[in-house]
Amino acid sequence: DHVRVKASATSANLGAGFDVLGIALEDPYDIIEVRPAKELTIKVEGRGAASIPQEPEKNTAGVVALEMGKNVSIKIKSGIRPGSGLGSSAAPAAGTAVAINELFSMGYTKEELVWIAAKGEKAAAGSIHADNVAPCILGGITVVCGNYVNSIDVPEMGIVAILPDIIVSTKVAREVLPKTVPLEEMINNIGKASMLMLGAGKKDPHIIGRSLMETFNEKYRSRFIKGYSDVKDAAMELGAYGVAISGSGPTMIALSPVEKCSSIADAMRKKFTLHGVDSEAYITCTGKGVQII
């Protein structure tokens, strides 16, 4: 009589893939339980619950249920801090889309569910974007381009996600971006995004890591993250493949060999501390997409 899913954090952009690329993480995650009901209700508990709207029209999961035309009660146990750059609004939307599809045997494909979940994202971000819901549902590394969406498996690698105690509004982080970029910058960004996909295709995490840095996103947004370059250098000195801002920040992700993750996480957090910034760390790996549990 109910379906319960685990919907994980995601990291959009992956350096150069602004609004296009995303990667699924295993941790942190939300647990979402959906059951048929007389009317649509949403209950949120856990991380940041007080700041998450529970009215269906304003909640990303609620918008998805409305879009799918089902009266359900949705219970969200939130594990992803709102405003972290880790897809906190995408996970409930993606998880709810998968759960309702399963509960009512609606027969949507995963790709179709991505577009339904993307409509839910509009409730949080004001615009439809799928660069977090795509990896959340499909897993791995995803590409969203116009109405195309697909995913690719990634080579084995660890992911360190450091969430500093800094607030970055996605809206403000978008306002600082230039509307046009010089040719040279476009070439660099296309090069980096291409390298990333080449690294995924060749299953070479070194190429993926190298592609993450000196991108458009980093250039205009690292200013919001106090200590950014020191924290990044600390990870690189200890053998990270590469470091990037997760989505619009403030989380920074370091792709690393699995065995180096915990020392890299410690070093990154210590650097933040030196800059007077508290932080928390997630040591994880690439996620497989929403799981029914």
- Which residues carry out catalysis? 121, 170
Q: Which residue has the tokens 């549902």?
A: 137
Among 30, 33, 67, 131, contact with ligand HSE (rule: CB under 6 A): 131
Contact call for residue 79 and ligand HSE (CB under 6 A): no
Q: Which two tokens stand for residue 80?
A: 């992803």
Lay out the site mask for ligand HSE across 238-257 (x = CB under 6 A, - = otherwise): ---------xx---------
Contact call for residue 135 and ligand HSE (CB under 6 A): no
User: Closest Cα partner for 159 from 75, 20, 291, 282?
Assistant: 282
Please, how many CA atoms are within 13 Å of residue 104, restricted to the half-sphere of its CB? 17
Distance of closest approach, residue 136 Cβ to ligand HSE, in angstroms: 11
Closer CB to ligand HSE, residue 70 or residue 221? Answer: 221
Closer CB to ligand HSE, residue 17 or residue 242? Answer: 17
Distance CA 118, CA 27 (A): 21
What contacts 53, CB < 8 A, 6 or more positions away? Answer: 59
Among 8, 13, 256, 284, contact with ligand HSE (rule: CB under 6 A): 13
- Partner residues linked to 282 by β-bridges: 161
Amino acid at 230: D
Among 170, 211, 215, 279, contact with ligand HSE (rule: CB under 6 A): 170
Contact call for residue 129 and ligand HSE (CB under 6 A): yes
Helix (H) or strand (E) holding 280: strand 279-285
Closer CB to ligand HSE, residue 170 or residue 211? Answer: 170
Distance of closest approach, residue 179 Cβ to ligand HSE, in angstroms: 14
Return the number of other C-beta atoms located less than 10 Å from residue 70's C-beta. 18
Closer CB to ligand HSE, residue 99 or residue 173? Answer: 173
User: Closest Cα partner for 121 from 64, 56, 43?
Assistant: 64
What residues line the site for ligand HSE (CB under 6 A)? 12-13, 19, 129, 131-132, 170, 173-174, 247-248
